[in-house]
Amino acid sequence: MFDPENPARRWHDMGGNAAGPVPTDQHDFSMWEKRVDALMIIGSAKGYFTVDGLRRVLEDMGEDAFEKMTYYERWIASVNQNLIEGGAYTTAQLAEKMAQVAARGDTYGDAAKPT
Amino acid sequence: MPHDHHDHLSPSGHPYRADDDTSLSYWQTMEIAVRELLVENGVTTAAEIAVQIETMDARNPSNGAKVVARAWADPAFHAALMDNAGDATRDMGFDIGPLKLIAVENTADVHNMIVCTLCSCYPRNLLGLPPDWYKSRAYRSRTVREPRSVLAEFGVNLADTTQVRVHDSTADMRYIVIPARPQGTENMSQTELAALVTRDSMIGTGVAKTP
């Protein structure tokens, strides 16, 4: 939300904005979400990025992503971007691997081979 | 009990959650690919990922409840906790990581609550992952502007004379609320006290249970 009184204020800086009731819905974390969380911790612990790097990509995604993507969808997008920038793998490797994964099946269980 | 498929309510009266068996998404595909590439390129191992997930799963509000109960019962620990919550909880054996952890204490006159207006910073190493509402636009936006109305939605109605302090967390600095000790708990053990400490009471959107 653009703030004409403070043009430098970005969308994620939402403290003080008007909003509706606090939602009470709660979901159980899926295995893939727990894995994203673990990849964030491990990638960060091994020096590929900092929490600032994680947040820089999240904030640059913009408000649209905040509304349309789930929390861990945004996180894997940011973790991936940071890992590529950190040299953990290349975009070509990612594209090839994602094509392989998608070809394994139509569900997460089919596509995530036992590791 | 007759089955009623029309209102989709469980026997407890709540709606059933939708099954979590959607088809493979683009982002799930990316998670699998990233994880496998990290293992293949020698950045991490499958075992290391599994251990990290187990470590995170093991963190839950009962850890924080033990800290609060000890602070209520042990004046020396209370002093250490208020001085440096990170070191005091590390000394109890909790893996707080490199974060700065600050304990803020509720009293008869002051009510503290925590938020992260910029993202989702939370004392996750002590309490586990944050509840979904903590990450919501509504909580992040309104808590610093109208904390009393947010508290009222959580069923916490404070006297007008109670001072409300809202603490905005950052990536490097996390807060935990030490709720006020309930009346009538003078003779309780730390284990009994810990059972009174809820997750929300340590976020400040709740109060400790009364025995």
For chain B, give every domain's residue range.
1-58, 60-203
Distance CA B138, CA A17 (A): 9
Is the confidence metric ipTM above 0.85 for this complex?
Answer: yes
Query: B129 contacts in A (CB within 8 Å)?
Result: 29, 37
The per-residue pLDDT for range B19-42, each reduced to its tens digit, is: 667 899 999 999 999 999 999 999
Three-class secondary structure of residue A10 per DSSP: coil
Average pLDDT over residues B160-178: 95
The percent of residues above 90 in pLDDT, for chain B, comes to 86
Residues of chain A with pLDDT under 70: 1-2, 114-115
**CATH topology for the B60-203 domain:** Nitrile Hydratase; Chain A (3.90.330)
Please identify among residues 54-93 of chain A the ones whose CB lies closer than 8 Å to any CB of chain B.
Answer: 55, 58, 66, 69-73, 76-77, 79-80, 83, 88-89, 93
On whether any CB of chain A is under 8 Å from the CB of B180, the answer is no
The per-residue pLDDT for range B88-134, each reduced to its tens digit, is: 999 999 999 888 999 999 999 999 999 999 989 999 999 999 999 99
pLDDT at B136 over 80: yes
E-only strand ranges, chain B = 100-105, 110-115, 163-168, 173-178
Interface test with chain A among B14, B20, B26, B29, by most A beta carbons within 10 Å: B29
Interface test with chain A among B14, B19, B31, by most A beta carbons within 10 Å: B31
Distance of CA B116 to the CA centre of its chain: 12
Residue ranges per domain, chain A? 50-111
**Looking at residue B10, what is its pLDDT?**
79
Q: Which two tokens stand for residue A45?
A: 């612990």
